[in-house]
Amino acid sequence: VGVAVIGLGFMGMTHARAYHGAGPRCRLRAAYDTDPSRLAGDGAGSRGGNLPQGQEGDDPLASVVVFDSLAALLAEPGIDAVSICTPTDTHAAIASAALEAGKHVLVEKPVSLDRDEIRDLDAAARRAGRVCMPAMCMRFWPEWVWLRDRVTDGQLGGLRSLFFERLGPMPDWGGGFYTDPARSGGALHDLHIHDTDFVCAALGPPASVLSAGDINRLTTIYRYDNGPGHVVAAGGWLRGGPGFTMRYTAEFEHATAVFDLAADPPLVVFRDGEREAVRPPRAPATGYDGEIEAFLHAVETGQDPPVTLADAGVTLAVLEAEARSIRSGEVEAV
């Protein structure tokens, strides 16, 4: 599978490294960005993000063709699929053009701030007979896959309580994109979305939500008619904060699982007074690697991807309810 990455900021370089590490099943052939410094390989143009980008000297773009024209890249016959890692407000137009050019598409979350655009993309992908998959990396993160499996298989008993925390520094990169809520949607759509999407994946969409704070720092209670009575996610961007953190605490009938990115080991299960370290298989190593593998599998087999544009629409509907709840101070139906 010949692949190109569109947008070479932190997330674009993360996708590039994941393709570079995917082995012989794909070849990273091309890249595009509107910033000449990124096309020239200037690392300063790709700063930002929450997690390490790889070892120094590990350059996944060393042998790729860099394009300064998106149309020229999309016309390249050796490119079968593209990752779209540009600002959110450009996703729909670029994805539509890529599908029209016959390319498969992996598009970064939240895909769009407009559910109609997501529905239109879904229709365009079906017309083109191509995969268009939203990049929802936490669905593939090893410790989150483990958690979803425990929710599903009942090994630890029924789920009673689920709490997520996700905090990161207030972005000072991106040329003002992140600080413009009309373009980025704030931390609600950039950071907190990971936990809302995982809640939807593991438990289904909630019936309603109650949120407090603002779009850059919030806490949400997800309310279910038939489900755990305590499902909460808190997080957002911090000014002058200590760095990125992500955590969860999941209480089951027979045990409690605690994940903390900064801990060693990160995932521990407490049961019957005993503490057990849990080390899920590290293949894929991260959720980014996992989503790339899932995307490539869908491209290779023609099967539906494990995360669909319909899923992205559901997650966006929950985020919209959270935004309404922040404004109203009331419980809002999804």
Run means of pLDDT, 10 residues per run, the chain, 334 residues: 96 95 93 83 52 57 91 97 98 99 99 98 98 98 98 97 96 87 97 99 98 99 96 95 92 99 97 96 89 98 97 99 99 99
Check residue 50 and give its pLDDT.
59
Query: HSE-up of 241 (CA within 13 Å, CB side)?
Result: 17
CATH top-level class for 139-288+315-333? alpha beta
Burial of 317 by CB count in 10 Å (0-12 exposed, 13-18 middle, 19+ buried)? middle
β-sheet bridge partners, residue 246 = 166
Q: Provide the pLDDT for residue 242.
A: 80
What are the backbone dihedrals phi and psi of residue 239, each rounded to the nearest 5 degrees, phi first? -80, 125
- The whole-number pLDDT of residue 48 equals 53
Integer Cα distance of 25 and 71 in angstroms: 25
**CA nearest neighbour of 33 among 61, 69, 82, 63:** 69
Confidence (pLDDT) at 54: 44
d(CA 223, CA 173): 35
Ranges of CATH 3.40.50.720 domains, the chain: 2-135
- The CATH architecture assigned to 2-135 reads 3-Layer(aba) Sandwich (3.40)
CA dihedral 146, 148, 150, 151 (to 10 degrees): 170
Give the amino acid at 39.
L
Please tell me what DSSP assigns to residue 328: H
Ranges for all domains in the chain classified under CATH 3.30.360.10: 139-288+315-333
